[in-house]
Amino acid sequence: MTGELGQLALCFALALALVMAVSGLMGALRPSGLVARRTATSSAMGLLVFVGLAFGTLTYAFVGSDFSIMAVANNSHTLKPLVYKISGVWGNHEGSMLLWVLVLALYAALVAGLQRGGERLTSGALGVQGLLAAAFLLFILFTSNPFFRLDPAPFEGAGLNPLLQDPGLAMHPPMLYAGYVGLSAAFSYAAAALLVGENGWARAARPFMLIAWIALTCGIALGSWWAYYELGWGGFWGWDPVENASLMPWLIATALLHSALATEKSGAFRTWTLLLAIAGFSLSLIGTFLVRSGVLSSVHAFASDPTRGFFIMVLIALAIGGALALFAWRAPTLQGGAAFDTVSRETALLLNNVFLLAACACVFVGTLYPLVLDAVNGTKISVGPPYYALTFAPIFFALLLLVPFGPRLGWKRGDLKAAWRSLYPALGLAAVAALAVLAIVAPRTLAATGAFAMAGWLIGASFLEIRKRKGARASAFAAVLAHAGLGVTLMGVAGTTAWRSEALTVLASGQMMTVGPYTLRFDGVTREQGPNYIADRAHVALMDGGKVRTMLLPEHRFYPAEGQDMNDTAIHTTGLRDLYLALGDDRGGGRFTLRAYVSPLAPLIWLGGLVMALGGMLSLWGRLRAPAPEQEPAAPAVALAAE
Amino acid sequence: MNAKQKRRLAFAAALLAAGSAVAGVIVYGLGQNTMYFRSPSDVAAKQVDEGVAFRLGGLVEKGSVQHGAGADVHFKVTDGKSTIPADFNGVLPALFREGQGVVATGALDGRGTFVASEVLAKHDEKYMPPEVVEALKRSGRWKEGAQ
């Protein structure tokens, strides 16, 4: 019964999405369309209810192991722990698309509930949101129905890829989707602004941009953390196309946050911000296509059915093409941007956008060039980390160099000399950081020294700003915190990249190994029974003098239901340094290969991400608490320029 | 030309310069850093210079895996037509098996042995890297549905 209920809910949801699309657009185009606008609002709520019902039904089927539903039979197993039964809902193509639509409906309901911006603007945003929801619901119902029945139902499910059975990865897709789809709200507002001809959209859409950006930041950090502890190679970012697919929307979303601020506060970059909102969601769609269609070979590629790839491609073409056509048609009718001085915060934000877009272009080409080349003449190539070190890294470095200036320049007209002078202490901190790195740590590398100087520059500037703004409301510290987070992450990246030490040895029980400052003793391997796996668990003692300080237990797991092997690493962290241990091959006679890494500062990578997200949350909190325009102490021109 | 137009022109010129600089960096970066995917037959047919990094994909030949001193592993990668010996010092992925698909990154040494810096195996038993499937198809060793 539950399957049919879910199916029915999806059909109702599709009908409501269509109603919402039509009434929303009508309400936007007709100044007198009050009924249409109300209909759009209530259908947004209805959409959430029905998509939620469908999602709940699927979750119920997963939790209850209802193997008569194909998605459950293919991706679940009775022995799986409850949390992975639930995360299995989105650990497959059909369920993950349903999650996508659920998040879309959630944002639509938020747009309808908050009613930010003018009535017609909100209505138009709901209309576009409805179109998107309808398109994705059609996609689900026709190519990826999660409620497809199996008759006869199998006795047991096929299980879930063990790599996905992990708490970090259980949370990673919902987080990332909240980000991807959050950009749809900015997209819808932008399209509505073009339709209605309203300029206040940037302020109306800002909370959604912020939520999307926070979620993307957390999602990327979670994914990178998972890759670090799960994949056993000690790295945190591999420039894999799948990772790039999430990084590109983040770069654009970051550019959008900055550009929209200028649009909102001083009226600059009106059309440009619209274009960024369209580009951000377009890259989310392209990312989804790349990741889900099976074009890329990875753990994420659920769908290898060509009709699905084709459908998503048509959907992308319609969304991007439609939005760009609307842009070309309506953008010239909008008021031109406000003028600003060459030295001003607007210029700083413009440079921010130029660098972020350039960085995004590098990632875009590096990701798509191999695919294009393969499609054109069948040549198989791959573009690895050295390409990004040569292109992305210097561009991003240049961007970071400019970050501290932005908040110190006034809107319309800034004082570069004063900004520069106020940054002297940060420059001092940068010099100290560079010298400290050169004096204390070996090996000395130019990249690490530069990175630490940069981190000192960013964090120092943030501290200065915090001191200056003492007593201001919490949201005034949002940007400061986000910028400091960049410095923290940079230190983590530089530390692990430059100073990681590695040891690889074959040990018998009782033998010792050393890695970096640590001495380890291998105490043999025991066979353990997990809830749905069998593990070889290595017992490794971290020695402190003659005593055992702590035990590390890396495992090699075998999942019989899935017929798969997986390594589970053990990490001992001091907060500033990780000792990372992976169990390798059984070499016979009780001898095993052990791989150990010491990664200095590794935890800072994700701590920095958290600090950035926290910055975003502060800003969001300020926005939702006080919808009135924010007054910044350093910029008296704001009040004049705002609308 | 008034002041506003002049500013616009300067702005457009700056943007154009920045754009071309980025394009230049990208093209240069791609030229320096692309790695080709080759099957053992490709390696045998084309002269690949020693030390040039590429990705080698195929099946791990049955009975070819030998452990050397420490964490050294020797194995052979085959696509049915040609076979290339490979050396690796490191921990093999959990899904590395004789007779199964593998993709390795590395370069040839002077003796025609592939020295791998990284070895990837497939993600699960249903999955085979598409490059390997294609290499096997080209050498005529691919059986549809045989996996």
Per-residue model confidence as pLDDT tens digits over A263-276? 888 888 888 899 99
The rounded distance, in Å, linking the Cα atoms of A410 and A408 is 7
A557 CA: distance to closest CA in chain B (Å): 9
Residue A564 touches chain B, beta carbons under 8 Å:
yes
Closest residue of A to B22, CA-based?
A: A358
Which token pair is A601?
Answer: 């500062």
Does A228 reside within a domain? Answer: no
**Mean pLDDT lowest among A37-41, B4-8, B128-132:** B128-132
CA A577 to chain centre: 25
Contact A308, A143 (CB under 8 A): yes
**Quick check: is A124 in a domain?**
yes
In contact, B91 and A504? CB cutoff 8 Å: yes
pLDDT bracket for residue A306 (50, 70, 90): low
Boundary of a domain, candidates A133, A159, A185: A159
Work out the average pLDDT over A374-384: 81
Q: Do the interacting molecules here have an ipTM over 0.85?
A: no
Q: Report chain B residues whose CB lies below 8 A from the CB of A561.
A: none
Amino acid at A168: G
Domain boundary residue, one of A107, A124, A159? A159
Residue A301 has what pLDDT?
Answer: 47
Q: Dihedral of CA A632/A636/A640/B1: which sign?
A: negative
A478 contacts A421 by C-beta, under 8 angstroms: no
Q: Is B9 part of the contact surface with chain A (CB cutoff 8 Å)? A: no
What amino acid is encoded at B16 in this protein? L
A87 part of a folded domain: yes
The whole-number pLDDT of residue B124 equals 43
Report, in angstroms and rounded to the nearest whole number, the Rg of chain B calculated over CA atoms.
Answer: 22
Q: Poorest-confidence range of A326-335, A439-448, A621-630, B103-112?
A: A621-630
DSSP state of A630: P
Backbone angles phi, psi at B76, to 5 degrees: -120, 140
How many residues are given for chain A?
A: 643
Interface test with B, best of A160, A298, A354, A387 (most B CBs within 10 A): A387
Q: Among A232, A386, A556, select the one facing B33 at the smallest CB separation.
A: A386
Q: Would you say A243 and A210 are in contact if contact means Cβ atoms under 8 Å apart? A: no
Let me know if residue A517 belongs to a domain.
yes
Q: What value does the mean pLDDT take over residues A525-541?
A: 91
Strand partners, A595: A504, A582
Is A361 domain-assigned? no
> Residue B34 pLDDT more than 90?
no
Contacts 24+ apart (CB under 8 A), A538-542: A538/A581, A538/A583, A538/A592, A538/A594, A540/A570, A540/A581, A540/A594, A542/A518, A542/A572, A542/A579
pLDDT by residue (tens digit) across A501-523? 888 888 999 999 999 889 999 99
Q: Where are the beta strands (DSSP E) in chain B?
A: 34-38, 54-60, 66-67, 72-78, 83-89, 101-108, 114-121
CA distance B28 to chain A (A): 9
Please check the confidence at residue A241 and state whether its pLDDT lies above 90: no
The whole-number pLDDT of residue A88 equals 87
pLDDT of amino acid A227: 84
Rounded CA-CA distance A637/A574 in Å is 48
Q: Is B55–A382 a contact, with Cβ atoms under 8 angstroms apart?
A: yes
| H/E stretch holding A223 | helix A201-230
Q: Is A491 in the B-facing interface, judged by CB distances under 8 Å?
A: no
Interchain CB contact of A365 with B (< 8 Å): yes
The model's confidence at residue A335, banded by pLDDT at 50, 70 and 90, is low
Which pair of structure tokens corresponds to residue A181? 């789809």
Q: How many domains does chain A have?
A: 2
Percent of chain A with pLDDT strictly greater than 70? 94
Nearest to B91 among A562, A564, A595 (CB): A595
Read off the DSSP letter of residue B44: H
CB contact under 8 A, B22 and A504: no
Provide the CATH number for the domain around residue A513. 2.60.98
Taking the Cβ of residue A32 and every Cβ of chain B, the question of whether any pair is shorter than 8 Å is answered with no
Q: What confidence score (pLDDT) does residue A634 get?
A: 39
Take residue A369 and report the two structure tokens written for it.
């060039």
Using a CB-CB distance cutoff of 8 angstroms, which residues of chain B are in contact with residue A383? Answer: 30, 33-35
Listing DSSP states for A271-340 in one string gives HHHHHHHHHHHHHHHHHHHHHHSSSS-STT-----HHHHHHHHHHHHHHHHHHHHHHHHHGGGSPPPPP-
The owner of tokens 């790295």 is: A235
pLDDT class for A622, splitting at 50, 70, 90? Answer: confident
H-helix segments, A68-162: 70-75, 82-87, 93-114, 119-143
- Nearest CB among A380, A395, A595 relative to B131 is that of A380
Q: Residue B36: which of A297, A380, A391 has the nearest Cβ?
A: A380
Determine the length of chain B.
147
- Asked if the structure places residue A190 within a domain, the reply is no
Which residues in chain B are closer than 8 Å to A584, comparing Cβ atoms?
Answer: 71, 91-92
- Examine the pLDDT at A230 and tell me if it is beyond 50: yes
Residue B90 has pLDDT above 70, yes or no: yes
Beta carbon pairs, A and B, within 8 Å: 105
Task: From chain A, pick out residues whose CB is under 8 angstroms from the CB of B119.
Answer: none
Report the distance separating Cα A373 and Cα A586, nearest Å: 41
Question: With contact defined as beta carbons under 8 Å apart, do B60 and B75 qualify?
Answer: yes
Q: Which of B26, B123, B127 sits opposite A361 (nearest CB)?
A: B26
Task: Specify whether the CB–CB gap between A129 and A121 falls below 8 A.
Answer: no
Preferred mutation among B20, B25, B33 to probe A, highest tally of A CBs within 10 A:
B33
Render pLDDT for A545-600 as a digit per residue (tens, 0 to 9): 888 899 999 998 888 877 777 888 899 998 889 999 988 888 888 888 888 999 99
Quote the CA–CA distance of A348 and A462 in Å, as a whole number: 16
With a cut of 80, say whether residue A308 has pLDDT above it: no
pLDDT reading at A238 higher than 50: yes
Rounded to an integer, the average pLDDT of A472-488 is: 88
| Beta strand pairing call for B83-89 and B114-121 | parallel
**Using a CB-CB distance cutoff of 8 angstroms, which residues of chain B are in contact with residue A564?**
94-95, 124-125
3-state DSSP percent of chain B in helix, strand and coil, to 5: 30, 30, 40
Domain end among A159, A192, A220: A159
Q: Is residue A74 part of a domain?
A: yes
A395 — pLDDT class (breaks 50, 70, 90): very high
The pLDDT assigned to A206 comes to 92
Q: How confident is the model at residue A16 (pLDDT cuts 50, 70, 90)?
A: very high
pLDDT recorded at residue B122 = 55
State the residue range of the domain holding A46.
Answer: 1-159
For residue B89, what is the DSSP state? E
Q: Which residue has the higher pLDDT, A442 or B13?
A: B13
pLDDT over 50 (residue A643): no
pLDDT band at A18 (very low <50, low <70, confident <90, very high): very high
Q: Tally DSSP H helices, then E strands, for chain A.
A: 20, 11
- Please check whether residue A5 lies inside any domain of the structure: yes
Query: CA triplet A434, A435, A438: central angle to 5 degrees?
Result: 90
- The pLDDT, as a whole number, for residue A636 is 37
**In this complex, which of B15, B22, B124 lies closest to A564 when CB atoms are compared?**
B124
Report the number of secondary-structure helices (H) and strands (E) in chain B: 3, 7
What distances in angstroms separate CA A437 from CA A176, A374, A443, A495, A516, one per listed residue?
35, 44, 10, 10, 18
Q: What does the pLDDT look like over B45-84, one tens digit per residue?
A: 877 788 888 888 888 888 888 888 777 889 999 888 889 9
Distance CA A66, CA A176 (A): 28
Question: Pick from B36, B71, B125: which is nearest to A381 by CB?
Answer: B36
The residue to which tokens 């004096």 are assigned: A439
Q: Band the pLDDT of B129: cuts 50, 70, 90.
A: low
**Average pLDDT across chain A, whole number:** 87
Pair type for strands B66-67 and B54-60: unpaired
A445-458 per-position pLDDT tens digit: 888 899 999 999 99
The A residues from 147 to 206 touching B (CB cutoff 8 Å) are 161, 163
* Contact between chains at A565 and B95 (C-beta distance less than 8 A): yes
pLDDT band at A121 (very low <50, low <70, confident <90, very high): very high
Q: Are A605 and A615 in contact (CB under 8 A)?
A: no
